Amino acid sequence: MKKHSIVFEGGRCRDGAGNPTTLGRIVKLLREKSGMSQAELAEKAGMAQARVCQIENDFRRGNITLKTLIKISAGLGYKLDINIK
């Protein structure tokens, strides 16, 4: 499985290099890097394409569940690894 680091601290999201970003931007970057369309990711993740679009565009930002993150990670070929400090 592939690996990509994301850090959440103080209510903010940072990429592996420490740059401020959003979860949606990271999902879009990884999807495009994998050469997938939103529809392909949605199918692999078992969700609607409209939901992938919402996530990538940070709509309903506070309403992404752990279950959804796991589905997206699996659809992209990544293992979700959560460390709580």
Q: Is the pLDDT of residue 72 over 80?
A: yes
Phi, psi of 9 (to 5 degrees): -150, 135
What length is written for the chain? 85
pTM: 0.80
Reference 2, options 31, 40, 43; nearest CA is: 31
The per-residue pLDDT for range 34-55, each reduced to its tens digit, is 999 999 999 999 999 999 999 9
E strands present in the chain: 6-9, 12-15, 20-21
Q: Is the pLDDT of residue 62 over 60?
A: no
CATH T-level assignment (fold) for domain 6-76: 434 Repressor (Amino-terminal Domain) (1.10.260)
